[in-house]
Structure 1
Amino acid sequence: MKKIALLASICMPLLGASAVSVADSQQHAAGMATKQAECPAFLQQNYRKLHSEQTIDLCQATAGKTVLIVNTASNCGFTPQFKSLEAVHKKYQDQGLVVIGFPADNFFQEEDEEKDTAEVCFVNYGVTFTMLQTTSVRGDDANPVFKHLADKTTAPKWNFYKYLVSDNGKKIQHFNSRVKPDDKKFVDALESALKS
């Protein structure tokens, strides 16, 4: 009898813990499903990071945050905007901004090899914000993010178009290549988006 009581005293807490663990897992799964449902459909994507095997879930990376999406190129007259994009990233990331760069060769100004694109971004310009794999940002083969941005505003007509997306994904503002990330017009729109 003592052995049975001892086994019961050992097993019952373990069974209880496992029941709690299952309940916690179910709650976690339900919470994740809710978050996924709250995430705008166009951000329900996974992309590989630039010159890396690591992938990023855009829903997780952008949840509840204002997002700045930019189509970039390594050999463009606007490429120096990487510096001001990095400055914007550093200044506003703690206030809820996520900057995501999509290198694209739609205008034939991107490197052929991702390692060379990565060198331009990370070595030449010191970029620390998220840069993703080279992709298409316009036309029939545009990735789903840029298809949505084009549908709601306009497709990029050149490199370094900037799209400011509200934290719920419903409001999207676009700025063409000539609007620099440190221009007052852009900064005002960004700060307004972060406050709303």
Structure 2
Amino acid sequence: MPEIIEFVTTEYKVEFPIFNKISVVGEHADPAFKFLIETSSVVPDWNFYKYLVDETGQVIGAWGTRTLVEDIFDDIQAAVKKVKAKQARSAGGKQKVDKKESETPKDEL
């Protein structure tokens, strides 16, 4: 595990917490990845796959290794806006919808 942490912090400048190495495919796959694969029909064939899950737990997007977060930023932002709009409607329109965009610029992701 130390070599994985060193790799991602050096190569990708990762600053967020890193979890333990797990199996994502096959008989010993982690239940979360079994769910992601079953519901999206997208099986990761290498590291750094990305899955976008909505507020109901449905996979609404999946991208491969070479896809950068910057490339899917608009999809993520659209999913968040959809949830906020749904929350506003369910509150009878009385809830203020924050129209401010993400505070993290796209090029700083």
Structure with the larger RCO, 1 or 2 (CA within 8 Å, 6+ apart):
1
Amino acid at match of 2:44: P
Q: TM-score, normalised by structure 2?
A: 0.64
1:181 aligned onto 2:69: yes
Kindly state the Cα deviation for residue 124 of structure 1 after the two structures are TM-superposed. Answer: 4.5
Correspondent of 2:27 among 140, 145, 168: 140
Q: How many corresponding residue pairs?
A: 81
Segments of structure 1 that go 5 or more residues without pairing to the other structure are 1-113
User: Deviation per CA, 1:85-136, whole angstroms, max 9, x where unpaired?
Assistant: xxxxxxxxxxxxxxxxxxxxxxxxxxxxx11111112344331223210111
Q: Please give the alpha-carbon distance, in whole angstroms, between the structure 2 residues aligned to 1:118 and 1:190.
A: 26
Structure 2: where are the runs of 5+ without partners?
Answer: 83-109
Q: Which amino acid aligns with 2:65?
A: S
Q: CA deviation at 1:140?
A: 1.3
Larger Rg: 1
- Which residue number corresponds to residue 157 of structure 1? 45
**Aligned partners of 1:135 and 1:142 also within 8 Å:** yes
What corresponds to 1:195 in structure 2? 81
Secondary structure of the corresponding residue to residue 182 of structure 1: helix
Letter in 2 for 1:148: F
The aligned counterpart of 2:7 is 120
Partners of 2:49 and 2:64 in 1: CA distance:
5
* Alpha-carbon separation, structure 1, partners of 2:7 and 2:46: 18
Q: TM-score, normalised by structure 1?
A: 0.38
RMSD (Å) for aligned C-alpha atoms:
1.7
Deviation at 1:172, TM superposition (A): 3.2
Provide closer, same or farther for how the CA distance between residues 120 and 144 of structure 1 changes in structure 2, counting only shifts above 3 A.
same
The share of aligned pairs that are identical, in percent, is 35
Report the structure, 1 or 2, having the larger helix content: 1
Structure with more of its chain in strand, by fraction: 1
In structure 2, relative to structure 1, the CA distance for the partners of 1:194 and 1:130 (3 Å cut) is farther
